[in-house]
Structure 1
Amino acid sequence: MRRRRSAPMIDCRSGTPIALGSRIPLASLIQTLAVAEHLNFRHAANALGVSLSSVSARVKTLEEDLGILLFERHARGVRLTEAGRHFVELVAAGVDQLDHAVKTASMAASGECGRLRIGVHALIPRSFLAGLIGRYRNEHPGIEIEMTESTAREAVMQLRADRLDIVFVAGSPELPDCHSRRIWTEPLVAALPEQHPFANRNAVTWADLAGETFLARHGGTGPQVHDHIVLRLAGRWPASSIQRFDVERGTLLSMVGQGFGITIVSAATSLQPTSGVVFLPFADEPEPVAFSAVWSPFSQGTALRNLLELANKMGRTIAAPE
């Protein structure tokens, strides 16, 4: 006897048919897959921990809704019809994808997988920031890290445009539309060529450097370096000049080594020895340079929260001996 296909359900508001798949309970599909696996209703019910009547009723209702016979019943159990075999194969693939989606979403919610887009001013080996990101990657290997290097202004603009999740910048910015937190500090040092008259000193002062030619970058922390030099040398004589170049940090330091001028950098930069360059601390710099994390108030992911918590932990560890 041929089964009668159920009439399609109609959306009362639009008058359009509702897809059958949207109204099939997931439990019916799971129980159908179990019957297909065990080829026995009772064994399927035992495996799922439900009653035999529940499995039998759900499979029967599903067959009636589809208008298709999925199983041929016999005394020892059941076997799949040809239509049932195709149906089960496709449903099994769909359920696997759904299970994967649920697990992936759960892992993303717990910070075990996902993506974190980080903006940095520089990533110097052995620096605090390099240590932070390295440790984070070790503790959260399922998180894909994307790095972008830019000026603080460009980084914040990308953050506001939702192209970055968090940025690390020099200073302690107060932005009305962003959250920020001071994470670590570094002393400021002067980078001088080895032939400089002050190269053998233990430290220098800003007054010592009046009249020098300073080098700064257009990118990275270059704009902030420029402004800091102007601030510290304002009113000093002889007047200094500041030359700006569109080069990478390593190239600028190489230019210092070749005698183009001098520059100022944070202490982390001095961890990378550069041929022909010496790094001297300032005796009269009032305080170390602060570095802060900035992120959008709309970013609430666990991956970001874990990074901030680790940054706080590492920052406290460094500050503790002082």
Structure 2
Amino acid sequence: MMHQQRSQAWLSSSGDTEDMTEMSRVLAPRLAHFAGVARTEHVTRAAREMNVPQSTLSRAMARLEQDLGIDLFARHGRTVSLTTAGRTFLASVERALAEIDRAAEEIRADADPATGKVAFGFLHTMGAETVPGLLHAFRADHPRVRFSLVQNYGEAMLERLRAGDLDLCLTSPVPDAPDLVARRLDEQKLRLVVPGDHPLATRRRIRLAEASEETFVTLEPGYGLRRITDDLCRQAGFRPRVAFEGEEAETLRGLVAAGLGVALLPPPTVPRPGVVELAVTAPRAVREIGVAWLTNRPDTPPVAAFKKFLLSRRGSLLP
């Protein structure tokens, strides 16, 4: 009767999230003990196999039944057998314990110094050449370390870093935030890209102010390169007239080649026909590339090794 009353009390509040969280907290420490007793159907033998005092195990089973409000075992002297409710509960407990074991094995594997995993984010413009080169060089000394790679724009990567989806990211501009550690690694010159038949295409270099009347194609707001473009144009004394906004630098080059505007872009991996790239003499047109990670977040050995490797590439990160 006590068990039935206790069960009704739990069931009456089963829709309440706080009560269900409390139930999980109460039950969780006893699940492995329950599975051990259920497997052996003998408290003494289970206590010996799990290396816990028999009295402790007996009290734990009694308390578990009390908290659930259901009899899980039928007692037969020194032995026990599962009730129907006990068999139903055991099936779920075994699945839960197996999932915990799987998760524990996964995180141990990810932290293994030789074969662990690094979740690494980087800018789209670094995906064709820079990052493959970095990974090739790193794996010369760490051939079995695995990587989960994410390409995105800077702000989106910082959001994923804060969410715990990434261990490290290469980004630009180099962030300045109290919850992040960021280190400048290198800088990349930006060029004014113009169509091949543009009047400026005969030039090799240009002051950005000379492009104040041009139509620009840029990345969308929120992208680091867009902020840099807007800031450089402001320094040159004008606000760019934007006709097209995109999400990827090589798409912008294609728009320029089609005669739809000019753009401030980092050097291409492979020269693109139909455009001319001019050195910008003023203002100084560069974007800084840095690596960022969460403040006070412990590193696994593979993450620590890759972080050390990236920091050793200061000044030589880019081809």
Q: In 2, Cα distance between the equivalents of 1:236 and 1:116?
A: 41
| Partner of residue 125 from structure 1, selected from 128, 153, 177 | 128
For the pair 1:305 / 2:304, whether they are aligned, the reply is yes
- Counterpart in the other structure of 2:98: none
In structure 2, relative to structure 1, the CA distance for the partners of 1:169 and 1:114 (3 Å cut) is same
2:117–2:303 contact (8 Å) kept in structure 1:
no
Q: In 2, Cα distance between the equivalents of 1:318 and 1:167?
A: 13
Q: In 2, Cα distance between the equivalents of 1:6 and 1:120?
A: 55
For the pair 1:314 / 2:313, whether they are aligned, the reply is yes
Offset from partner CA, 1:47-71 (integer Å, 9 cap, x none): xxxxxxxxxxxxxxxxxxxxxxxxx
| Partner of residue 15 from structure 1, selected from 43, 55, 59 | 59
Offset from partner CA, 1:12-57 (integer Å, 9 cap, x none): 276147xxxxxxxxxxxxxxxxxxxxxxxxxxxxxxxxxxxxxxxx
- Counterpart in the other structure of 1:115: 117
In structure 2, relative to structure 1, the CA distance for the partners of 1:173 and 1:236 (3 Å cut) is closer
Amino acid at match of 1:279: E
- Counterpart in the other structure of 2:204: 202
Offset from partner CA, 1:131-186 (integer Å, 9 cap, x none): 22232234322122121122211111111111111111112211111111111111
**Length-normalised TM-score, structure 1:** 0.61
In structure 2, relative to structure 1, the CA distance for the partners of 1:247 and 1:240 (3 Å cut) is closer
C-alpha displacement at 1:311, in angstroms?
Answer: 1.7
Q: In 2, Cα distance between the equivalents of 1:13 and 1:116?
A: 41
- Counterpart in the other structure of 1:266: 266
Q: What SS is found at the alignment partner of 2:159? A: helix
1:132–1:314 contact (8 Å) kept in structure 2:
no
| Partner of residue 280 from structure 1, selected from 256, 278, 281 | 278
Counting aligned pairs with the same residue, the percent is 19
Q: What SS is found at the alignment partner of 1:204? A: strand
C-alpha displacement at 1:317, in angstroms?
Answer: 5.0
In structure 2, relative to structure 1, the CA distance for the partners of 1:235 and 1:304 (3 Å cut) is closer
Q: What SS is found at the alignment partner of 2:56? A: coil
Question: What is the CA RMSD across the aligned residues, in angstroms?
Answer: 3.2
C-alpha displacement at 1:124, in angstroms?
Answer: 4.1
In structure 2, relative to structure 1, the CA distance for the partners of 1:256 and 1:15 (3 Å cut) is same
Q: What SS is found at the alignment partner of 1:282? A: strand
C-alpha displacement at 1:250, in angstroms?
Answer: 2.3
Amino acid at match of 1:252: L
Offset from partner CA, 1:294-319 (integer Å, 9 cap, x none): 11231411212222222222225579
- Counterpart in the other structure of 1:54: none
Amino acid at match of 1:276: G
Amino acid at match of 1:305: A
Q: In 1, Cα distance between the equivalents of 2:183 and 2:159?
A: 18
Gaps of 5+ in 2: 1-41, 48-53, 62-100
Offset from partner CA, 1:171-228 (integer Å, 9 cap, x none): 2211111111111111111111111111121211111111111111238xx7323322
The alignment of Structure 1 onto Structure 2 pairs a total of residues equal to 227
Amino acid at match of 1:309: K
Q: In 2, Cα distance between the equivalents of 1:229 and 1:118?
A: 26
In structure 2, relative to structure 1, the CA distance for the partners of 1:224 and 1:11 (3 Å cut) is same
C-alpha displacement at 1:110, in angstroms?
Answer: 5.8
Amino acid at match of 1:203: R
Q: In 2, Cα distance between the equivalents of 1:141 and 1:278?
A: 40
Q: In 1, Cα distance between the equivalents of 2:122 and 2:207?
A: 29
- Counterpart in the other structure of 1:67: none
For the pair 1:294 / 2:292, whether they are aligned, the reply is yes
Amino acid at match of 1:301: T
Amino acid at match of 2:143: P
For the pair 1:257 / 2:250, whether they are aligned, the reply is no
For the pair 1:241 / 2:285, whether they are aligned, the reply is no
Q: In 2, Cα distance between the equivalents of 1:188 and 1:237?
A: 18
2:228–2:287 contact (8 Å) kept in structure 1:
no
| Partner of residue 146 from structure 1, selected from 145, 148, 161 | 148
Q: What SS is found at the alignment partner of 2:201? A: coil
1:211–1:239 contact (8 Å) kept in structure 2:
no
In structure 2, relative to structure 1, the CA distance for the partners of 1:230 and 1:246 (3 Å cut) is closer
In structure 2, relative to structure 1, the CA distance for the partners of 1:286 and 1:245 (3 Å cut) is closer
